[in-house]
Amino acid sequence: MVKRTGQARRLEAFYQQSVDPWGFEIEEYEQERYAATLAVLDRGRYEDVLEIGCGEGAFTFRLAERAGRVLGVDISETAIGRARSRSVEYPNTSFIAMDIGAALPQGKFDLIVCSEVFYYVRPFSRLNIARRLLERLAPDGELLLVHSHRSETTTWPDVYGEGGAEGLHRLFTHYLTMITVTSRAMDGYQIDLLRPNPEFNGIIRPIEMARLAVANTRAVVTHDVSEAARAILARTQSLGRRTTFQ
């Protein structure tokens, strides 16, 4: 069972509201994004695939057509339950409810997909999770990252949206020195296909860590203050008062 952190509770409640709450199965934009994402993959087939933040399996089942096995993980138990119920037609898929901040599946993977996930991870946890994802890649494995640009995420109320693809993908290419195979700037989002750098020794310079810590602190403070303001606003509105936050 997934530990119910604040973010986990919000995402679980969101999935409990309705089936496919994001519109992944019906929105034309999402279908175009899936097609563009699959087009970046440079191999016809992958043996073992891990999808982080799989939701109800909308993209997982598309990946299954090009993989021997696909393991999807998501923090929402409701989403995972729905994915499992749909997986009968895709026997090479499996699903686990898991908080990637606490653990990752064991084993090595030829492809790890991380799409629209890292905004929901608290900034101080991102680099550690990125390291662990790198450790799960096979030596010749690939990491597929898909995230919206910073300009799209700064107004999202439920995420640490200061990073956007520009900052989130840089964790892998700058700090972990992963090699970019393909990079595509799409309308509103970024797709990057990366491979491990065989010369990376796991050491990140202290000055780089210090800069990252400053950026993370700013992101957390900004997010938490905004979240507190929204909570107060909701409370005062429920009491019939009007309050304005600049």
Check residue 235 and give its pLDDT.
Answer: 42
- Where does residue 94 rank: exposed (0-12), middle (13-18), buried (19+ CB within 10 A)? middle
Check residue 218 and give its pLDDT.
Answer: 54
Assigned CATH class of 6-201 = alpha beta
Check residue 54 and give its pLDDT.
Answer: 96
Query: In which residue ranges of the chain is pLDDT below 50?
Result: 221, 223, 225-246
> Residues near 233 by Cβ (< 8 Å), separated by ≥ 6?
243, 245
Check residue 160 and give its pLDDT.
Answer: 61
DSSP codes of every residue in 158-179: TS-TTSHHHHHHHIIIIIS-PE
> Considering only CA atoms, which of 63, 56, 64 is closest in space to residue 92?
64
Q: Report whether 37 contacts 115 (CB < 8 A).
A: yes
Amino acid identity for residue 89 in this structure: E
- Residue ranges, comma separated, of all CATH 3.40.50.150 domains in the chain are 6-201
Check residue 202 and give its pLDDT.
Answer: 77
Specify the residue for token string 């780089």: 208
Question: 28-50 burial, b if ≥16 CB within 10 A, otherwise e?
Answer: eebeebbeebeebbeeeebebbb
Summarised one tens digit per residue, pLDDT across range 81-137 is 999 999 999 999 999 999 998 899 999 999 999 999 988 888 878 888 999 999 999
CA distances from 8 to 62, 77, 113, 189, 203 (A): 26, 10, 20, 24, 31
Check residue 140 and give its pLDDT.
Answer: 94
